[in-house]
Amino acid sequence: MLFIVAYVALAPFVGQIADSFSKGRVMMFANAIKLLGAAIIIGGLDPFVGYTLVGIGATAYSPAKYGILGEITHGDQLVKANGLIESSTLAAILVGSLMGGWLVDISPYFALAMCCVVYAAAVISNCYIPRLKAARPGARWNLVEMIKRFATACKVLWQDDETRMSLVGTSLFWGAGITLRFLLILWVPIALHMEGLLTPTLLNAMVAVGIVIGAAAAAKWITLKTVNRCIPAGILLGIGVVCFILQESYVLSYVILMLVGVFAASLLCR
């Protein structure tokens, strides 16, 4: 809960943080905050503090991650880069879920230690991102004005038909994605009459395979001029999830979830 609260509470401010400094360095410090949070949890200190820090780091990281794309790519390359970022993010979530379940079975302490290792590797890798100039180095840090600007920006985005649908689509997608993850863990064992974690793990893996295929296809077939091709993918994504809910067959479940991954990657390239 605290992880999600950080995203909502800090939304008006993290954009300016990303624009006021080199985005590569913002990403590095954000990952360092996440590393600190994970270290607090593994150290046996207050886990609420640890999760809050991880949420703060993740919140600060997001706008820098997306903002840097516009500084290092342009045109159709930007569409491809955005698609790869979205797809790799979703793939990382799925793979992390698989690895997390496996590592927790071995040892919760070991799983947390691996989180620290991954965050440390992220900090190191961020050091190799080219140091770009800050987009708006002289911005004022008036919190009230920042909240007002954020509200105005949200209003402008909502008034545009295309951005409004993009916001709604993205929100519904991630909401459905989280729900699907819980279904794979809690509902699938009952629906498919199985025990253990192997089948949910394999189902998650099939989504990841679909994402890889969909990302590769989207990078080739979807450009700024043909971005509306993503709309059918979103519709088919919803149909695929509904069809999956009705399944009692292992094989069809694997196939449908792979297609869900393909459509998801295509949709996120918009």
Q: Average pLDDT of 118-130?
A: 88
Helix segments in the chain, DSSP class H? 2-9, 11-20, 23-42, 47-72, 76-106, 108-126, 143-159, 161-182, 188-191, 198-221, 230-245, 250-268
Q: Average pLDDT of 231-253?
A: 81
Residue 183: strand, helix, or coil? helix
Could you say which of 133, 157, 181 is where a domain stops?
Answer: 157
Residue 138: strand, helix, or coil? coil
Judgement on whether residues 257 and 178 belong to the same structural domain of the protein:
yes
Q: In this predicted model, what pLDDT tens digit does every residue of 40-61 receive, in sequence order?
A: 988 888 888 888 898 888 888 8
Q: Are 55 and 2 in contact (CB under 8 A)?
A: yes
Q: In this predicted model, what pLDDT tens digit does every residue of 139-175 receive, in sequence order?
A: 778 888 888 888 898 888 888 877 787 777 777 777 7
Give the domain extent around 198: 160-267
**Alpha-carbon distance 193 to 214, whole Å?**
30
Q: Average pLDDT of 75-99?
A: 73
**Alpha-carbon distance 32 to 241, whole Å?**
37
Could you say which of 157, 179, 200 is where a domain stops?
Answer: 157
Q: How many CB atoms lie within 10 A of CB 103?
A: 18
Judgement on whether residues 167 and 194 belong to the same structural domain of the protein:
yes
Q: Which two tokens stand for residue 20?
A: 């006021």
Whether the predicted pLDDT of 270 surpasses 80: no
Judgement on whether residues 13 and 112 belong to the same structural domain of the protein:
yes
Instruction: Note the pLDDT of residue 120.
Output: 93
Instruction: Note the pLDDT of residue 1.
Output: 63
Could you say which of 123, 157, 191 is where a domain stops?
Answer: 157
Judgement on whether residues 62 and 119 belong to the same structural domain of the protein:
yes
Structurally, the chain folds into a number of domains equal to 2
Q: In this predicted model, what pLDDT tens digit does every residue of 220-239 receive, in sequence order?
A: 777 667 767 777 877 887 88
Judgement on whether residues 202 and 125 belong to the same structural domain of the protein:
no
Q: Are 34 and 54 in contact (CB under 8 A)?
A: yes
Judgement on whether residues 151 and 197 belong to the same structural domain of the protein:
no
Q: Average pLDDT of 241-267?
A: 82
Judgement on whether residues 98 and 170 belong to the same structural domain of the protein:
no
User: What is the secondary structure of 44-106 as a DSSP string?
Assistant: TS-HHHHHHHHHHHHHHHHHHHHHHHHHH--THHHHHHHHHHHHHHHHHHHHHHHHHHHHHHH
Write the DSSP symbol of residue 129: S
Write the DSSP symbol of residue 228: G
Judgement on whether residues 1 and 27 belong to the same structural domain of the protein:
yes
**Alpha-carbon distance 48 to 18, whole Å?**
26
Residues whose CB falls within 8 Å of the CB of residue 145, separated by 6 or more in sequence, listed in order = none
Is the pTM of the predicted complex or chain greater than 0.85?
no
Report which of 48, 34, 41, 173 is spatially closest to residue 108, judged by C-alpha positions: 41
Judgement on whether residues 99 and 3 belong to the same structural domain of the protein:
yes
Judgement on whether residues 147 and 21 belong to the same structural domain of the protein:
yes
Instruction: Note the pLDDT of residue 32.
Output: 93
Q: Which two tokens stand for residue 67?
A: 């903002």
**Alpha-carbon distance 53 to 74, whole Å?**
33
Q: Which two tokens stand for residue 217?
A: 């296809």
For residue 200, what are the CA distances in angstroms to 94, 183, 187, 188? Answer: 11, 9, 10, 7
Higher pLDDT, 153 or 91: 153
Handedness of CA 166, 167, 168, 171 (dihedral sign): positive
Q: Average pLDDT of 114-129?
A: 89
Judgement on whether residues 130 and 50 belong to the same structural domain of the protein:
yes
Instruction: Note the pLDDT of residue 117.
Output: 92
